[in-house]
Structure 1
Amino acid sequence: MAARTSIKSFAPSTSDIADRATGTGSVLQRLTRTSSDVAPLVARIALGLVMFPHGAQKALGLFGGHGFSGTMGFFTGQMGIPAAFAALAIAAEFLGSIGLIVGALSRIAALGIAANMLVAVFMVHAKFGFFMNWMGAQAGEGIEYHLLAIGLALIVMVKGAGAWSLDGLLGRRLSR
């Protein structure tokens, strides 16, 4: 027989509400604080699953990618991105996608992916318009994918990891 959980167990405590209002608590507590909402769960899983293959292409050479050294060479050589930023972009897509899937440091992971998407929009994709290049008629891909990814990332950045997350487990332990 399944254990019954009351709605009260999901409600924030008085100290939790005070911490949110005053911004108190450790940085880690504030980063991992989340609720058991399903919406952020859906947003982070969707974003993590979509971003993982892109990150694995860049970091590991999976899914037809060029791996870390090939991607670094392209980013720094052809695109003129400083090496530190290129490495951060690869880490944000690869490690960030894994963080989102398991719900670990989800706000940071979402911020990294949103930053990557914004940079991609302004450096590469905005000149091709809004739409993806479904028919092969454009010279490149538009920004619609990037906007969706940014929107999902914003949900996670604002609401936290949501239900079934390592952030939720850690946040509850830190608030005791």
Structure 2
Amino acid sequence: MKNRFSQILSTHSDWSFAIIRWTLGVVIFAHGAQKLLGIWGGHGMSWTVEAWEQWWNVPSLFTYIVIFIESIGALLLFIGFLSRLWAFFIGIIMVVAVLLVHFRWGFFMNWYMQPQSGEGFEYHLLVLAMVLVIVMKGGGKFSLDYYITNRKN
């Protein structure tokens, strides 16, 4: 078990992975804060739970899990604690969002306020690329993962 935990925490000492981790953490946290706190144009937790259940038949438990991952998980990703794990969960959220909501609107975001009422999945692909880097390489230098695995040295 300890060996598996060490594998999850392992990371490269390259600081460029930290840049990806910080950026992803900030962006995903902003989305989570909209859902959790109702700030930055969001509607808050109760509205999100009700809307997702009504629009997409998402059980409330799953909506709460998404809110937790996008808020608390994003903060933990930002500081680099269990980076691979939180990135993996964010990746699952992105895949489900594309399949459940965004794929039908096509590739592009609705930048020019076209008559369509939805957004494409280009943003989600960028997030998934960042997720893959973190899952494969870890959170990089300046992460708690790096500190924990290298504190003996």
Q: Structure 1 residue 158 and structure 2 residue 136: aligned?
A: yes
TM-score by length of 2: 0.91
Residue of 47, 69, 80 corresponding to 1:103:
80
Q: Counterpart of 1:76 in structure 2: which amino acid?
A: E
Residue of 56, 72, 80 corresponding to 1:79:
56
C-alpha separation in 1, matches of 2:108 and 2:134:
25
Q: Structure 1 residue 60 and structure 2 residue 37: aligned?
A: yes
- Which residue in the other structure is 1:46 paired with? 23
Instruction: Return 133-142 or 24-33, whichever deviates more.
Output: 24-33
- Which residue in the other structure is 2:147 paired with? 169
TM-score by length of 1: 0.80
Residue of 89, 107, 129 corresponding to 1:112:
89
1:31-42 equivalences in 2 (<5 Å): 31-42=8-19
Q: Counterpart of 2:112 in structure 1: which amino acid?
A: M
Gaps of at least 5 residues in structure 1 are 1-23
C-alpha separation in 1, matches of 2:44 and 2:108:
28
Identity of aligned residues (%): 41
Deviations 1:110-151 (A, max 9, x none): 011111111110001011111110101133111100000011
Q: Which has the higher contact order (CA 8 A, sep 6+)?
A: 2
Residue of 7, 17, 24 corresponding to 1:30:
7
Deviations 1:36-84 (A, max 9, x none): 1123112111111111110000111111212122211112233211222
- Which residue in the other structure is 1:8 paired with? none
C-alpha separation in 1, matches of 2:32 and 2:89:
12
Instruction: Return 46-55 or 72-81, whichever deviates more.
Output: 72-81
- Which residue in the other structure is 1:16 paired with? none
Q: Superposition RMSD on alpha carbons, in Å?
A: 1.6
Gaps of at least 5 residues in structure 2 are none
C-alpha separation in 2, matches of 1:40 and 1:118:
22
Q: Answer whether contact 1:95 1:109 (CA < 8 A) is retained.
A: no
- Which residue in the other structure is 2:123 paired with? 145
1:25 positional shift? 4.4
Task: Mark the structure with the bigger radius of gyration.
Answer: 1
Residue of 28, 34, 46 corresponding to 1:69:
46
Following TM superposition, the consecutive aligned residue runs of length 4 or more in structure 1 with deviations greater than 4 angstroms are: none
1:118-133 equivalences in 2 (<5 Å): 118-133=95-110
C-alpha separation in 2, matches of 1:95 and 1:114:
15
- Which residue in the other structure is 1:21 paired with? none
C-alpha separation in 2, matches of 1:27 and 1:70:
39
Q: Answer whether contact 1:93 1:112 (CA < 8 A) is retained.
A: no
